[in-house]
Amino acid sequence: MCSQNPNHYSFPAVRGIQAGRPFYIATCPLRIIPKIFSYNEDDVPPELRAQRTLNKTRIPYMVKYLLDNPKEYVFSALTASVGIDISFIDHEDAPNLGTLQIPMDAQILINDGQHRRKAIEEALKENPDLGQDNIPVLFFIDEGLDRSQQMFADLNKYAVKPSPSLGTLYDHRDESSELARELATSVKPFIGLTEMEKSSISPKSNKLFTLSSIKQSTRALLGKGPKDGLVKKEKNSLLTFGKK
pLDDT digits (tens, 9 = 90+) for 160-190: 888 999 999 999 988 999 999 999 999 988 9
- Output b/e per residue, 22-44; b: 16+ Cβ within 10 A: ebbbbebebbebbebbeeebeee
Same domain assignment for residues 42 and 103 = yes
Same domain assignment for residues 94 and 201 = no
Same domain assignment for residues 222 and 123 = no
Same domain assignment for residues 51 and 106 = yes
Q: What is the pLDDT of residue 226?
A: 78
Residue 179 burial by Cβ neighbours in a 10 Å radius (0-12, 13-18, 19+): buried
CA 13 – CA 10 distance, rounded (Å): 9
Q: What is the pLDDT of residue 119?
A: 96
Asked if residue 2 has pLDDT above 60, the reply is no
Same domain assignment for residues 51 and 104 = yes
What is the pLDDT confidence band of residue 5, given thresholds at 50, 70 and 90? low
Within-domain flag for 244: no
**Which of 125, 140, 157 delimits the end of a domain?**
157
**Which of 126, 157, 188 delimits the end of a domain?**
157
Asked if residue 39 has pLDDT above 70, the reply is no
> Structurally, how many domains does the chain consist of?
2
Angle subtended by helix axes 114-126 and 59-68, to nearest 10: 50
166 within 8 A of 205, measured Cβ to Cβ: no
Same domain assignment for residues 175 and 231 = yes
Higher-pLDDT residue of 72 and 234 is 72
Same domain assignment for residues 20 and 55 = yes
pLDDT digits (tens, 9 = 90+) for 230-240: 877 888 877 77
Q: What is the pLDDT of residue 45?
A: 60
Distance of CA 227 to the CA centre of its chain: 20
Higher-pLDDT residue of 225 and 140 is 140
Same domain assignment for residues 179 and 219 = yes
pLDDT digits (tens, 9 = 90+) for 82-114: 887 789 998 888 889 999 999 888 888 888 899
Within-domain flag for 1: no
Q: What is the pLDDT of residue 48?
A: 58
Asked if residue 46 has pLDDT above 90, the reply is no
Asked if residue 137 has pLDDT above 80, the reply is yes
Asked if residue 1 has pLDDT above 70, the reply is no
* Residues forming beta bridges with residue 22, ordered by sequence position: 17
Structural domain span for residue 127: 8-157
Q: What is the pLDDT of residue 29?
A: 95
Same domain assignment for residues 64 and 107 = yes
Same domain assignment for residues 95 and 184 = no
Q: pLDDT averaged over the chain?
A: 87
Asked if residue 217 has pLDDT above 90, the reply is yes
Within-domain flag for 3: no
What is the pLDDT confidence band of residue 151, given thresholds at 50, 70 and 90? confident
CA 233 – CA 218 distance, rounded (Å): 14
Q: C-alpha angle 100/71/110, rounded to 5°?
A: 35
Asked if residue 229 has pLDDT above 90, the reply is no
Q: What is the mean pLDDT of residues 196-221?
A: 93
Same domain assignment for residues 12 and 81 = yes
**Which of 135, 157, 179 delimits the end of a domain?**
157
